[in-house]
Structure 1
Amino acid sequence: MARSGASGIETENGVIPDPTEERAELGAHQRSRVRPFRDASAWLIGGLSLLVTGLFMVVSLAYNQWNFIPPLDDVYIHLQYASKLGAGHFLQYNTGDPMSTGASSLLYVVILGAFYLLGVHGTALLPAAMVFGALCMALTAAMTYLLGTRLAGRPVGISAGLLIALSGPLAWGATSGMEIAFTAFLLVALLLAFTSERAAGRFWWTPLLAVAAALTRTEALVFAAVLSVAMIWHLLVHARGTAISRPRLIGRIAWIGLPAYTAAAQYFFYWAMTGSAEQNGVLAKSLLHTPMVYPLEVADETLTNFRDFLTAFSGLSTWDYVFPGALLLAVVGAVGLFRRAPQWRGLALATGIGVILVMGSVATMIFSDSHHLRYVQPLLPIVLLFAVLGIHWIGQLFSGGAQKSVFTGGIVLALLFSASQLPAWGLRQGEQAAGIRDQQVTIANWIKGNLPEDANVAINDAGALAYFSDRHVVDLIGLTTNGFATANLHGAGSLYEELRRMPEQRRPDHFAIFNSWSVHDLEQAGVFGEQLASFGLTSPTFSHVTIGGGSACQAARNCNRVTIYEADWSGLGSGDEPLRPLQGRLRDRINVSDLQDEQRHDYEVLPAHQGFQPYTHLKTVTEPAGEVTDSGRHVVGGERFTIGGLAPGRSATITSRVDVTDAASTDKVRVRVNGAPAGTWTFPDDPRGWSETTFTIPADLVTDPTATVELVPTQEFLGPYPDYNSYPYWITQ
């Protein structure tokens, strides 16, 4: 026996959509296609969002003597790529450089490049980006209202739209100059288009919006991929009750796959142009690209980051990110939509899975909470919408007038909390922008006025220094200069070797870097010559009350000084040869910490403990012949590498430069050649900083032109373990 329900037909097997309601819903959607432009509520909500973001920009202007400055330096990376694109240099950070993938959003850069082509140049490009973000945020708030109305009625839509318009983090992101608001706009537009096309069983615009999402952010691609699965499922369900032919069905499914084809084409293009399918930002920031990847360590850090996301979105900590209980209510909203509105089950399930997967993918980043969670900020409109749905479903548990009272009370509290945090977020943005102006923008202008026009400047915070200085820059972090991202993760020693490999005419002749950042360890190589200038911060600081506040390092004072040096390459190559002449013919050399040379020799550290990272470093030692600079790698346990060019049947001598770093550790290692024991090697201590010692491989173990050499602890499992810095190996016969 079956009976008609409010949202479908109840049977013994559950609730199925009512065909009459499906047809009515389709007709309503077709009749309301032009209504959004006539809906006063949508205009009012969008206008409120514009008012809030406008006030944010006014506060920032007031803190910066009425100049437009962003709250983070990364904005200028987009502006630099956009200006070069507008000038005809696609994905070039410096004119004439190879293409690089330092921009976190390809489509956003193309849009800003279009602004440049229309005549928006120089200092005008930043306010154009900010205004574009504000408009995207206004559209997002208005579309969230339309989406909420479609899912559960006007009260839900209006409440959700107001919460978006009054969100401090979203107003911060929209006026930051980054692609945050544009990504949020695309995600909400995806859901709105999905609800419009679901009843017809034909998805035309939704896949096109998913293509835009795929070209905007990797996180948006993940969300679009999940929604594409939901589209295919709805298409197959719809096809069961229609006479659609198999070829037409296959064609519609193929059309839904557009974002996947687009993403594949984009990554193939990156691989063809740069040698890596991954963006430089991923290479520089992913936990999966650390020197040694330990699965459980990565899982632990990822889950810790994921927990931080949940804490921020729940609003149950001291962080002023969302109103208290928002995430819990969003879960209630998704479950309620799934159970009480069968026609939206695919949407509820896909949205929930999409949000979880996006958070999970971002959680694999080393700095996942950067700049107030800017990588997951675009999810906020969706979370807030579903939180309002949660309040709505909870209200439905009551009868009569109590339903309205519960819903109204919950929404009023949420709006009061959101509105009360707006001044803090506006102030935070102004203070952070003042830090960028006080440091990066000021330094860029100093460089422009004091360094030669053909200067090559090494930097560790790509952005304003390139955009305003008009000088060729080398990004030591590796976002905008290919080849440095992985080297920077390995440490200063690998950075030094990457700089050595550069053509002399492109090698930096100046450095402008934070004194507190790890790349400053290049100082140990003596490459910092005369100090030309040093800039300390005097701009306002701000409270760390919200998550990710410390990553806005200028206002948080985590990078309060930048120093500019002349480069000194006089010691370059001084460590290439051993101190005493080699005996015999040189067969091979392994330059430890040079990533390319390590790869050629299958070099790897064999750590004694899980979790140990063999970072590279630099050292300069005064020898009788003068100062010697070399890069090395910290080893606790042992090493493995392959040597070549050997003459079989003859003994081979390995000469090593080594520094025993821990007096409590053993100074001996066992040597194995192709798995066979070859003896014990003792590393003598030397107060100068390192020693050079040799080990002879017996002739009977040299059976081929190549050999795999392992240095391992003298006893298994138990310490003390070898703890030393490993430098070059020379192999002679």
Structure 2
Amino acid sequence: MTRFAAPSAGEHDEIPAGSAGGAEVGTSTGPQPAGRPFRDATAWLIGGLSLLVSVLFLVVNLAYNQWNFIPPVDDAYIHLQYARQIGTGHFLQYNTGDPISTGASSLLYVLILGGAYALGVTGSAFLPFAMLFGTLCLALTAALTYRLGTRLAGRGVGISAGLLVALSGPLAWGATSGMEIAFVAFLLVALLLVFTGERAENRFRWTPVVAVAAALTRTELLVFAAVLSVAMVWHIVAHARGTKAPWLRVLGRVLWIGLPAYAAVAQFAFYRIVTGSAEQNGVLAKSLLHMPAVYPLEVADKALTNLRIFLTAFTGLTTYDYVFPGALLLAILGVVGLFRRAPQWRGLSLAVGIGVVLVLASVSTLEFADVHHMRYVQPLLPVLLLFAVIGIHSAAQLFPTARRSVLIGGVVVALLFSASQLPAWSLRQSQQAAGIRDQQVTISNWIKGHLPQDAKVAVNDVGAPAYFSERYIVDLIGLATNGFATPNLHGPGSLYEELKYLPEDRRPDYFVIFNSWSVHGLGEGGLFGRELITFELKSPRFSYTTPSGGSACQAARFCSKVTVYEAEWDALGSGDLPLQQPAGQIRDRLNVADLRDEERHDYQVVPAHQGFQPRTHLRTITGPDGGDVVDSGRHVIGGESFTFENLVPNQELTIVGRVDATEPAAGEPTGSRAVQVRANGETVGTWEFEADPRGWAETTFTIPAELVTEPTLTIELGPLQEFLGPYPDYAAYTYWAVQ
């Protein structure tokens, strides 16, 4: 049986010549000196091939975009905007003078780009620099993958793995996207390579330093760094027991290994101090754990669905062209084989296996985990491909008489499959870039040329408008504008209420909105005034059969129209009071869908079914004086609870409720328009909501004085009978407490 040689200082770990498999993949007949990496011609050739592939991607992209550099995703411009702000001295301010925000998904990446901007890489050279930086990172990744593979399993394995990385369509797409994908992949492979180099002495001097860079780049790399840190501690403690090293020295080395943890804690503490949340805005905007209502089993179901998408794509056994067929299965075999046959790499094998699983599980908790061809997990591909090659080698050992044929055949098939998919990925990248140019870039330049220089513009795709238009941008999705991520998840109603909290000098003068996105519902609140222009895509449409191709919505035509509106704020606050003056004094008001007001009143929807999301919306009706009355509401199926304050004890309370009970149809006797009312836990009676096809209706319910014993009173609205329907089904807008 083939065994991997034990490492020694300054040596490769090669497969001994006694194994036919080792000799046949080009490994040497024994351990060889590691040599100097900068004099390794093979590393240069593999890196050069990767660079050539990426450059060809860029050339096709340029040809599709009249020889202008355009990324395939608008998010690249978010990084460029943050980096430009950093380079001009406005650290993490998306708009000059704004509070610090955390819309950049990679802190270290934008710091590097910001440094380049400060050094003079500005103007039209800035985006090409970012894209070329990505191509360089991928070339280094391919070269380092070769060296890592050589160190772990022999030169033949290293060469094959390096070539697969160089010929990977998804990685070339990511490297030329302007995003941090290739930089993350480079740091991941570099982290593993430095670890293997220091493993021989069980003295990890530089691995924690590289892990710090990894931890400050992406949360996924922080997870990997944490797992690898555990492996480092394990090796140090085991070595200390065997050599009886002084425990004080061991403790010092263990504390040094904790560097990435210290860096991560410092980063999250900084975020918490300056923004109020330790989580990045991207996580707040996209995590399943921040939905309006969080149901553990629903989250688990969606996360497992995302995980299945990842595993399906990495397996390569579908019509997807992400990796060669069987890659994931072979990678698992490679991890197991390395663990069994190379005791010196058992810690690494476990760390890689556990790290990949944890990263995939972490990313799976995002609502759009597979966005943009699974870009969050693309950096795992070099590790996957390396261990897949090791898996091919391990599988070849099962065929003693045909070991060489199986080995060479498996590698050749993998290489041919990868190379054959490069044209498709290049075309895909270019068509997506054409969609970004035809829409986001065009719109941004139109804004710059047609809107006043001091205009404030609200958008729901934040990258290009800020970078090109040089206007003040309000990000309705909440990546670059703090405080909007959670309201956006709740729906247009909550988004409208959050806009009301903006100071007047920061309220948008214009809205630039995808017609097909949920934020377009803001128009129901009268915020969209005169339509200035509508942009409709004319760029090439592409096939989105690849994983999450549809998330490149411009090229997939899921967001083909964008309209620019003048903002109208005339109806702001028009729904603050009941339509008719109540008979008494308003002691308190619960503005449903206003997240801040809901929190003040301990408001919550009590759903009749698990999985129901009580999203918010806007409604405008004509008031008694003929003017527009706008209010935000929340869909309720089941019931609600909330607490009124500032009440006068021992005085009758009248609740005025603004409720839309027209769904189901107003004329049908569904029984879903009645709720049971409880006050401080005591049943009071039944409240029949009226149905008005024009919109909401305002009805009242009286709480007897003897139940109002304190200045606060908790109200519960729920079904007339437990467990069985018909359940109340209505939209709640506002409740007033009148005495």
Instruction: Output the CA distance in 2 between the equivalents of 1:6 and 1:391.
Output: 15
Distance 1:591 1:200 in 2: 64
Instruction: State the partner residue of 2:291.
Output: 290
Gaps of 5+ in 2: 14-30
Q: 1:27 to 1:554 in 2, by over 3 A?
A: closer
2:725 to 711, 714, 719: 719
* 1:398-431 deviations in Å (ceiling 9; x for gaps): 336x322211100000000000000000011111
2:553 counterpart residue number: 553
Deviation at 1:397, TM superposition (A): 2.5
**One-letter identity of the residue aligned with 2:67:** W
Q: Matches of residues 226-375 of structure 1 in structure 2 within 5 Å?
A: 226-375=227-376
Contact 1:320 1:545 in 2 (8 A): no
| TM-aligned CA distance change 1:502 to 1:486, over 3 Å | same
Question: Among 711, 720, 729, which residue is 2:735 paired with?
Answer: 729
Could you say which residue in structure 2 is the equivalent of 1:14?
Answer: none
What letter corresponds to residue 169 of structure 2 in structure 1?
G
C-alpha distance in 2, partners of 1:392/1:367? 36
Per the TM alignment, residue 646 of structure 1 is displaced from its structure 2 partner at its CA by 1.2
Deviation at 1:5, TM superposition (A): 9.7
Q: Distance in 1 between matches of 2:514 and 2:3?
A: 63
- The residue type equivalent to 1:292 in the other structure is A
Counterpart residue number, 2:498: 498
Aligned pairs, number: 716
The alpha-carbon distance between structure 1 residues 418 and 118, as it changes in their structure 2 partners (threshold 3 A), is same
Preserved CA contact (<8 Å) 1:86 1:114: yes
- Letter matched to residue 521 of structure 1: G
Task: Kindly provide the amino acid, as one letter, of the partner of residue 134 in structure 2.
Answer: G
Q: How does 1:159-198 map to 2 (within 5 A)?
A: 159-198=160-199
> Deviations 1:492-540 (Å, cap 9, x if unpaired)?
0000001111001100010011111000011101111111111111100
Measured against aligned partners, the alpha-carbon deviations of 1:245-298 in whole angstroms (never above 9, x if no partner) come to 111111100111111111111011001000111000000000000000000000
Matches within 5 A, 1:128-167: 128-167=129-168
Work out whether residues 51 and 136 of structure 2, in 8 Å CA contact, stay in contact via their aligned partners in 1: yes
The equivalent of 2:482 in structure 1 is 482
Question: CA-to-partner distance for each residue in 1:475-494, whole Å, 9 max, x for gaps?
Answer: 00001001110000000000
Identify the residue that residue 684 of structure 1 maps to in structure 2: 690
* Structure 2 counterpart of 1:463: 463
1:114–1:574 distance in 2 versus 1, CA, 3 Å = same
Is the Cα contact below 8 Å between 1:535 and 1:561 reproduced in 2? yes
Distance (whole Å) between structure 1 residues aligned to residue 358 and residue 512 of structure 2: 38
Structure 1 position 623, deviation (Å): 2.5
Q: Tell me by how many angstroms 1:26 deviates.
A: 5.4
CA distance in 2, matches of 1:432, 1:322: 20
- Residue 582 (structure 1) shift: 2.0
Query: Which amino acid is the alignment partner of residue 689 of structure 1?
Result: G
How far did 1:6 drift? 5.1
The 3 A distance-change label for structure 1 pair 81 and 665 is farther
Structure 1 residues 108 and 535: alpha-carbon distance in aligned structure 2, compared to 1, 3 A threshold: same
Aligned counterpart, 1:629: 630
Cα distance, 1:396 vs structure 2: 2.1
Residue 701 of structure 1 pairs with residue 707 of structure 2: yes
Give, in angstroms, the shift of residue 33 of structure 1: 6.2
**CA contact under 8 A between 2:499 and 2:507: conserved in structure 1?**
yes
1:700 Cα deviation from its structure 2 partner: 1.1
> Counterparts of 2:298 and 2:410 in 1: how far apart (Å)?
41
> In structure 2, the residue corresponding to 1:609 is in which secondary structure?
coil
Tell me the secondary structure at the aligned position of residue 59 of structure 1.
helix
Determine the structure 1 residue equivalent to 2:420.
420
Instruction: Return the alpha-carbon distance in structure 2 between the equivalents of residues 228 and 364 of structure 1.
Output: 24
Cα RMSD (Å): 1.4
What TM-score, normalized to structure 2? Answer: 0.95
Q: Any idea what the Cα deviations from partners look like across 1:367-410, whole Å, max 9, x if unmatched?
A: 1110000000000000000000000111123336x322211100
Q: Work out whether residues 651 and 708 of structure 2, in 8 Å CA contact, stay in contact via their aligned partners in 1.
A: yes
Secondary structure at 2:545 match in 1: coil
Letter in 1 for 2:675: V
Distance 1:559 1:595 in 2: 28
1:560 and 1:287 mapped to 2: Cα distance?
26
Task: Give the aligned partner of residue 26 of structure 2.
Answer: none
Helix, strand or coil for the counterpart of 1:581?
Answer: coil
Which residue, out of 665, 675, 686, partners 2:681?
675
- TM-score (structure 1 length as normaliser): 0.96
CA separation in 2, counterparts of 1:687 and 1:284? 34
2:11 and 2:34 in contact (8 A); partners too: no
Q: Please give the alpha-carbon distance, in whole angstroms, between the structure 2 residues aligned to 1:518 and 1:164.
A: 39
The amino acid across from 1:507 in the alignment is R
Q: Is contact 1:665-1:723 (8 Å) kept? A: no
Q: Report the secondary structure of 2:243's partner residue.
A: coil
Cα distance in 2 between the residues matched to 1:707 and 1:415: 70
**Alpha-carbon distance between aligned partners in 2 of 1:223 and 1:372, rounded to the nearest angstrom:** 21
Q: Secondary structure at the match of 1:522?
A: helix
Q: Distance in 1 between matches of 2:10 and 2:94?
A: 49
Give the Cα–Cα distance (whole angstroms) in 2 for the partners of residues 180 and 239 of structure 1. 38
Q: CA deviation at 1:703?
A: 1.2
- Paired position in structure 2 for 1:210: 211
Asked if the contact 2:640/2:717 (under 8 Å) is kept, the reply is yes
Deviations 1:99-156 (A, max 9, x none): 1000000000000001101101122111101111111100100010001111111110
Q: Which amino acid aligns with 1:183?
A: V
What one-letter code is carried by the residue in structure 2 that aligns with 1:662?
P
1:7 shift after superposition = 5.2
Q: In the aligned structure 2, how far is the partner of 1:305 from the partner of 1:321? A: 16
Number of the residue aligned with 2:664: 662
Q: Give the superposition deviation at 1:666.
A: 2.1
Partner Cα distance (2:674, 2:563) in 1? 42
Query: For residues 293 and 514 of structure 2, what CA distance do their matches in structure 1 show?
Result: 26
- 8 Å contact 1:432–1:555 — kept in the other structure? yes
C-alpha separation in 2, matches of 1:496 and 1:548: 30
Structure 1 position 562 matched with structure 2 position 562: yes
Alignment of 1:80-95 (within 5 A): 80-95=81-96
Counterpart mapping for 1:19-168 below 5 A: 21=6, 24-25=8-9, 35-168=36-169
